[in-house]
Chain A
Amino acid sequence: MTEQFRIYSKDAYHIPLSKGQKPPAELALDNYLTFACRHKFCLEVCPVYQVTRNEAHTSYGFHTSLFAIWKGIGNIEELGGTFTHCLQCGACEVRCPNTLFMGDFYKVTQTTIELVRKVRSDLVRAGVGFPGLDEVKKEVEFHLQAISKRDDLMKWTEGLDVQVGGRCDLVLYVSRFTATQATETARAAAKLLKKAGLNFSVIDMPQAGIGEALDIAREDKFVELARKDVDKLREMGAEMVVVVDPHDYFFFRRIFTRIFGELPFKVVFITDVLWQMMEEGRLVAQNEIHKRVIYHDPCTLNKLTNVWESPRKILSKIPGVQFTDEHHIDQWYYCCGNGVSTFKKVNPEIAFTIGQRRIRRALDLGGKTLALGCPHCWDHLTEVKTKSKSDIELINVIEILAQSVGV
């Protein structure tokens, strides 16, 4: 199935691993380039390595493990335990000099996230599996059932008096997770766009938004759902799609474009639009919000799509907010612990520790409120906060702005 779509950037990744067989030489060469680099900048920047101190849980370890199999000193049955220790946060990819200092020149970059997804899927296809696989499969099945339930999926729009579906230049894209688990964020986004006087429509019954499918050899389902949404947005006549969930933003900007080529509409993240509205004077943050705020950069924005300015600018302009800015490059080292897809379901203890460290860091800087840009971070850190009995407030930047604007 994978050969039909460009799921991966590198051709060698499309050749599946099999039990008892050497990986293809082209993949071994790619692995060797990391094994032989010796920089190991991918270690300390990795939030998982910061907890486990196990080199096998890093980009260097993943590439080396595969190279070892090619050298005949390992087998794919051993890979599950290590390849599940990746948040897919992208820190190693961007910190690696192969990407940061040479990637644009040679057009060869570190692609750890794709490698991890490939190996996990290959393990499923080869009948080997990996720890926590059943949990991940359940999550995908849950998503597939949930996207057909209109009452749940579109309930967040009730009482907002916004257009749902139909033709419109500007479309607000809210996928299943935000629509059902972070409804206040979705509602705040819609209210702010409305307050700014923008004529927009909300996508009706979105289907995509399940990155876990790429981890369990269900690439076909991922592509099918993505295509449905892209087709729907095209039929709506969308020229600009405003995305509320950073995970979806990452999918649109990095994965959908690889699979479908250039999209027929522009994709922007919600805070970029809101900041533009503030600059143009169409949104005025007038109510004082007395909070001591630290901003947490979501990995899918900061490391994977390089969006970090607009949330900071918004927070800086809200009256009453005491904003302590942690540099976005420093935050390459951070993650909430949730990960972009399966990590939390497979490694709940490590996910908890990473989240706890992130909250402690915010508290150390004198923060009482941790402002977030991602509903998945909010969901995971809320769990961490409850379990660790912390009194830090967790709230999305969009919701703080909505309070200040008064919607």
Chain B
Amino acid sequence: METSSRIWGVLSRVSDPELPVLSIVDLGIVRYVRCDGESPPRVGITPTYSGCPATEVIRAAVQTALVGAGYADAVVEEVLSPPWTSEWLTQEGRRKLEAFGIAPPLGPDRAASHPIACPRCGSQSTRLVSHFGSTPCKAHYRCEACDEPFDYFKCL
């Protein structure tokens, strides 16, 4: 297997500290892995929200994972542009989020017009409690059918 796919494999086992069901690859924050065989491999990661405290933890976890896999010389770079968007969340990531009890993002063109379905009972009769939930990336909702509060992963 070539170095680049091996490194992608290593990164897909690094989980998000706030959403441990998701890997950083599921979240779409790994922007590239570059290996030219001569200089050290370079890994580009982008922050989700600029104030997200998980960013530094993730960076450290990536370094540790790369060292553990024998890529001690790999360089981790921060990428700011283009800015992260919830559209980069993979299909696999969306499925894992929903199974974990967090409603996945609808996408910018559907968010305004479509109801957010309750991840527990599936009802579309839900109500926004606050645009800001327990972490920067989530909004707080309540299901009118089963009465349970739940998090919605916001579109950004």
- The answer on A and B forming one complex is no
